[in-house]
Every structure is written in C-alpha cells, then in structure tokens.
Amino acid sequence: MKKLFLFDFDGVMIDSLEIYERAVTLCLEKIGKPIVKNRADFLNLFDENFYEAIVSRGIDLGEYMDASKEIIARINYDEMTPFYDLAPVLDKLAKDHTLAVISSNDSEAINAVMSRHKYNGYFEEVLGSDFMFSKRGKIVHAMDRFQMERDSTYYIGDTAGDIKEAKMAGVRTVAVTWGWHSREKLTVARPDYLIDTPGELLYL
C-alpha cells in the first residue's frame, strides 16, 4: 500500500540546532524581544508550533519575519550536517511511496541544504514557513495534494510540537530520538512510533 511520508527537516534530516538557535536568538534580539536566554528557552518554543509559541510570548510575528530575512541570508549552510546517511533510506522509501518535507524553516533554505547533500531528488514537495506557519495545515494540504488518507500518512518529527500538530491533523506520528527533544519529552507527547535510527522507517 502506497504511503505518504512527511518529514520535518531540522532535527530529523539535518543537525542544525546550534545554527537555528543562534538565528532565532539574533532575530529576537534585533526586534528587542530577547526571550531566549539559553538552550532550554529555545527548545521550549518547540513544545508547540514555533510561531504560535513566540506570538504567545508577546512577539509580533510580522516584525519577527522581517528581521529573520537578514539573519537567514547570513547563515552558512555548510555548517549543517545530515543525521546518519539518510540517502539509502530515502531512496528505498521514494521507490514505493510519496515523500515531502514539512518544516518551520524557509523552503529556499531547505532546498539549498538538501541540494548540497543530494536529498532533494527524493521529495515531491517542500512546504516551509513561506507556504504557511501551521504544520497541521501543511499536513492537511499534503494529504489533499497527494490524495492520501490519514491512516496512510506518517509525519516524522523530533519535537513534542511536531507530534502534537500531526495528531491534530489525524495522521500517524513518528518521533525520532536523534533530534532536538529528549526521548522523555517525546514519550510524553505519545507518538504512534518512537524510533532510534532512520532504517526503522522502512518497517512502518
């Protein structure tokens, strides 16, 4: 049976924690809202949808996005490294299933990094923050776009917020333990699957 695999990007495919944390911190400082004092503060923003989290903490989203344009332009994508060797897993999945990326990151940035690591050929679509902010909305869009049912759709994420949004969309949830949130925090979010290596995706 053909399935739809929706991958988060940062923390699932690419190790970008330090870079993303630095970029967000700089954006918040630039608009005079330095709400991230340490890594715990940063990671707590991903207990739910990132953009909803910063708005709930008093951040003007338009102001933040304007500030992020300059910061993102200065990011050195070569500093980002992939987790594991994902290519063999992606290659096998793409032969029989449909793959797409759903992320809080910018689509252009995602495509740039995937191109560097030769991952971009496996994905039918990349839906980033420039498409919409809600991952739940992007998941629903992807199901409509590829005409897939909820039981055949899997969202692969590394934060509690990823799992919560995918649950709201009604799809199967896969939490990976090599990303940003700890196994303990992911377990509390109650994903349908909790995996330790990319190869486990082949057995879903």
What is the Cα–Cα distance from 140 to 102, expressed in whole angstroms? Answer: 11
pLDDT at 202: 96
pLDDT at 101: 98
pLDDT at 36: 96
User: Residue 77: which of 23, 133, 123 has the closest Cα?
Assistant: 23
pLDDT at 198: 95
User: Residue 168: which of 155, 177, 158 has the closest Cα?
Assistant: 155
Whole-number percent of the chain with pLDDT over 90: 83
8 Å CB contact between 47 and 160: yes
Rounded (5°) CA angle 93-98-13:
60
Over residues 58-103, the pLDDT tens digits come to 999 999 999 998 888 888 877 888 987 788 999 999 999 999 999 9
Domain layout of the chain by residue ranges? 4-15+80-203, 17-78
- Considering the four listed CATH numbers 3.40.50.1360, 3.40.50.1000, 3.90.1150.10, 2.40.50.40, the one that applies to the domain covering 4-15+80-203 is 3.40.50.1000
pTM score of the predicted model: 0.94
Over residues 109-150, the pLDDT tens digits come to 899 899 988 888 899 999 999 999 999 999 999 999 999 999
In the chain, beta strands by DSSP E? 4-7, 14-15, 81-82, 98-102, 125-127, 153-157, 172-176, 193-195
pLDDT of 31 > 80? The answer is: yes
